[in-house]
Structures are given as structure tokens and as C-alpha cells.
Amino acid sequence: MRKVPLIPGHIGWVAFIVALCLPWLGEAAPAVGPLPTRGDYQVENWDSDDGLPQNSVTAICQALDGYLWLGTKNGLVRFDGVQCRVFSPDTTPAFPGNRITCLFADSKQRLWFGVGGNGVGCLVAEQLQIHP
């Protein structure tokens, strides 16, 4: 079989063949299915009347155990989908401060959090470690 070099005259044929194949490529099944509609979601608002220490959330993170952790200006909150548990100087005397600036859950099931001006804290099985 003889090899034909690709020269400008052949580029038109290649483009023509690709254009013929495009309609079949577009018929492939979507990777994730149809997008959900607005009616597929249930929206609930949680605020200080529902257990948050304050209505402004500054950071959010979901840990491997499924808990949702929220940082606020008045402490750290563990939310299980039903109720909030607050970690702050008022509820946990050794807690380093109120203003949570960032959250990170690592692969060893530790929750790391930044406390505005007071260093970094870590919760391991709800035991507090402070790293000034």
C-alpha cells in the first residue's frame, strides 16, 4: 500500500469526513444523565433560631464521616442534618476563639480549622488540639 502525504488538497477531504461523522458523535449517551430540575431539591434554611451560634457562615466542609462542619464568627458548628453542636469558648473552655476563618477535613478524619488571630485548631474524635 502506498502512503499518500497529507497535502493541502487532502485537508479538505479530512475536514469533510470529520464533518460527516459529527452528527453521530453528538448522539452519544450523556455521561451523567440529565440535569436535575429545580423541583428535585429540597431547600431548608437554618439560622440562629435552629441552633447556629450566628447567621453568617464563613467556611463550610463535609468530613468523611458525613458531618457538615460550618465556621461562623461565633464558633465552629457540627451539623448532622437534624441539629447543630457548637464548639466555641462558651461551650468548650479550651477552644481558642470564636471567629473561624477556614476548614479542612483530611483523610485521617481530622478536622482542621483556622481561628482568626489565634492559630490553627484540630478536632480528632471531638478531642481538641491547638497549634498556636
Give the residue from 76, 52, 80 showing the smallest Cα distance to 66: 80
Rg (CA), the chain: 27
Q: What distance in Å separates the CA atoms of residue 118 and residue 98, rounded to the nearest whole number? A: 10
Q: Going residue by residue through the chain (132 aa), what tens digit of pLDDT does each one get?
A: 454 444 445 555 455 555 554 454 445 445 566 766 767 777 788 888 888 898 889 999 999 889 999 999 999 999 998 999 999 899 888 888 899 999 999 999 999 999 988 889 898 887 888 776
- How crowded is residue 78: how many other Cβ atoms within 10 Å of its Cβ? 18
pLDDT score for 118: 83
